Amino acid sequence: MLVKFQSDSDPNRSCYPRAFTLTELIACVAILGILSALVVPRLLTHNATAKKNACYVNKCDIELQAKLWRRNSGSYPAANLSNVGADTAYFPGGLPTCPVDNTTYTIDTTTGLVTGHTH
């Protein structure tokens, strides 16, 4: 319901509360649509890159802990990392999983390097 106000300067002219026109609203929606079409793909790309980088960091951490295990025990840990993963001194938060595909990491027991995960 619109309330009609009388103008003090002109008694024959009525003033309605100002509002946006339909054209202005459509223009704003169009601008927001264009901006979202530009921003959303970039955010998705950055998310994938961040997951790949996190996988790389996890691989380096596992390889470092495998070398530390070898230094302390004389041999590399099991390929599935079950023995080093059970020791909270090496992985206090538990063994990490790959953020890209949620798989577990395995290592080569002769080199101590993580196998696979070449994202």
Distance CA 66, CA 82 (A): 12
* Arithmetic mean of pLDDT, 79-102: 94
Residue 8's pLDDT band, with cuts at 50, 70 and 90, is low
Q: Would you state the pLDDT for residue 45?
A: 85
> What length is written for the chain?
119
CB 13 within 8 A of CB 7: yes
Going from N- to C-terminal start, the domains of the chain cover: 21-115
pTM of the model: 0.66
